[in-house]
Homo-oligomer: A and B are copies of this chain.
Amino acid sequence: MSDRPFEPTIALGHRIRRSPYFEATLRWGVKQFTVYNPVYMPTYFESPEADYWKLIENATLWDVAGERQVEISGPDAARFTQLLTPRDISKCAVGQARYVLICDHNGGIINDPLLLKLAEDRFWLSLADYDILLRAQGVAINAGMAVQICEPDVSPLQLQGPRAHQIMLALVGGWIEDLKFYRFREFELDGIPLIISRTGWSGERGYELFLRDGSRGDELWERIMAAGEPFGIAPGAPNQIRRIEAGLYSWGLDMDAANNPFEIGLDWLVDLDADIDFIGKPALQRIAATGISQKLVGIELDGDAAPCQCVPLSISGQRGRTVSTTWSPRLERNIGFAYLPIALASNGAQMTVHGRDGDVAAQVVPTPFDAPRYRG
């Protein structure tokens, strides 16, 4: 994600946490880290583009232990968890996962975790941060509900790519065939306690393996790499090129507390008509009534990989801004997301992006970028 040739190193200390896979990723040649929810998280091994091809051609294994879990349990767990999200979770079954938003009192998006319903009275918010742990504990202080809120010893890996399915078959057996999208199951792999879900952040077929004993991290990593070897597995990381192609957003980059769900087109994650109580409901009702002023859209940019991430743009005399952008080696196009004034946010609209190396012409296109229109 660097847009300059200069490459400072990262301080590898102990204030930021080391994942159970940290040593394994060093052994396997990680070249760059970011920090995610105070945990070191690899960003690439060979190069972002080389990792991308390995992901879309075979499968890559990612240390995403930075995706911490916030566990909510107790008699009022369902009601309390609902309080945190505008999506109606009453119909979520045990063993089912849901993509949800967490909003603040202004309707701003403060996280977009995966919700896992482990039992009628036990939930995980995955991808959520230490932020959200302290936040939820803070909300609970005067909520008058019987809940416990903690961060359990759980460290996810993601195995993503077209051959992830074959690798999982070799690793855990035939039951994986029956695991539907956004469902999960408990499983022990040679005594290593896991929860395995069919979810991920790649747009490819993929799985998340939630390790429930941090001391077994190294063993689990090597076990998966060995099982994947015949299928061309490689170490990898959340790949920015692939997730942008797939139209997946990154919280903190494409959206944050200054954005409401309607601006992002995530209206389907807000159930204003359901008989549920959640933080931000009055604010979201107001926004739904008065409308939004800007909208996040997909854009295609002329030319090759220009540094156009998070820069201003002009459209019909008005202003907007890009967020994520990337060169897609497969589509051979520069693609990304941008916020535009609502009246101008329609497919085909033309704009000028003020990139760091000069102006670039761009236009609004539908997402995901990897939809069949590009493939045909």
Do A35 and B32 form a contact, CB below 8 Å, given A8-B10, A13-B1, A142-B139? Answer: no
Q: Does A141 make an interface contact (CB < 8 A)?
A: yes
In the complex, the answer to whether B2 meets A11 with C-beta atoms within 8 Å is yes
**Chain A 240-277 residues near chain B, CB threshold 8 A:** 240, 250-253
Which residues of B sit under 8 angstroms from A323, Cβ to Cβ?
A: 14
Distance, CA A96 to CA B183, complexed state (A): 54
Contact across chains for A13 and B31 when beta carbons are under 8 A apart: no
Q: Is the CB of A38 within 8 A of B252?
A: yes
In the bound complex, how far is the Cα of B145 from the Cα of A142, in angstroms? 12
What does the 1/0 interface line of A40-56 toward B look like (CB < 8 Å)?
00010000000000000
**A135 located at the interface, meaning its Cβ lies under 8 Å from any Cβ of chain B in the complex:** yes
Among the 9-residue stretches A126-134, A197-205, A363-371, the one with 4 or more Cβ atoms under 8 Å from chain B is A126-134
Which A residues, 1 to 18, have Cβ-Cβ distances below 8 Å to chain B? Answer: 1-4, 6-16
A288 in contact (CB, < 8 A): no
Residues of B close to A6: CB separation below 8 A: 26
A236 CB to nearest B CB, Å? 14
**Contact partner, A10, options B10, B104, B324, Cβ 8 Å:** B10
- Name the residue of chain B whose CB is nearest to the CB of A102: B134
A167 to chain B, nearest CB (A): 26
Q: How many monomers of this chain does the complex have?
A: 2
A225 close to B (CB within 8 Å): no
Are B12 and A31 neighbours in the complex by a CB distance under 8 Å?
Answer: no
Interface of chain A, helix or strand or loop or mixed? loop
Docked Cα-Cα span, A129 to B34, in Å, equals: 18
A14, A131, A143, A252 pick with most chain B CB within 10 angstroms: A14
Question: Do B135 and A134 touch across chains, with their CB atoms under 8 A apart?
Answer: yes
Q: Which residues of A contact B (CB under 8 A)?
A: 1-4, 6-16, 26, 30-35, 38, 43, 104-105, 110, 129-132, 134-139, 141-144, 240, 250-253, 279, 309-310, 323-324
Of the A-B pairs whose beta carbons lie under 8 Å apart in the complex, a sample of 12, sorted by A's number, is A1-B12, A2-B11, A2-B13, A8-B9, A10-B32, A11-B32, A15-B34, A15-B252, A110-B134, A141-B142, A142-B143, A142-B144
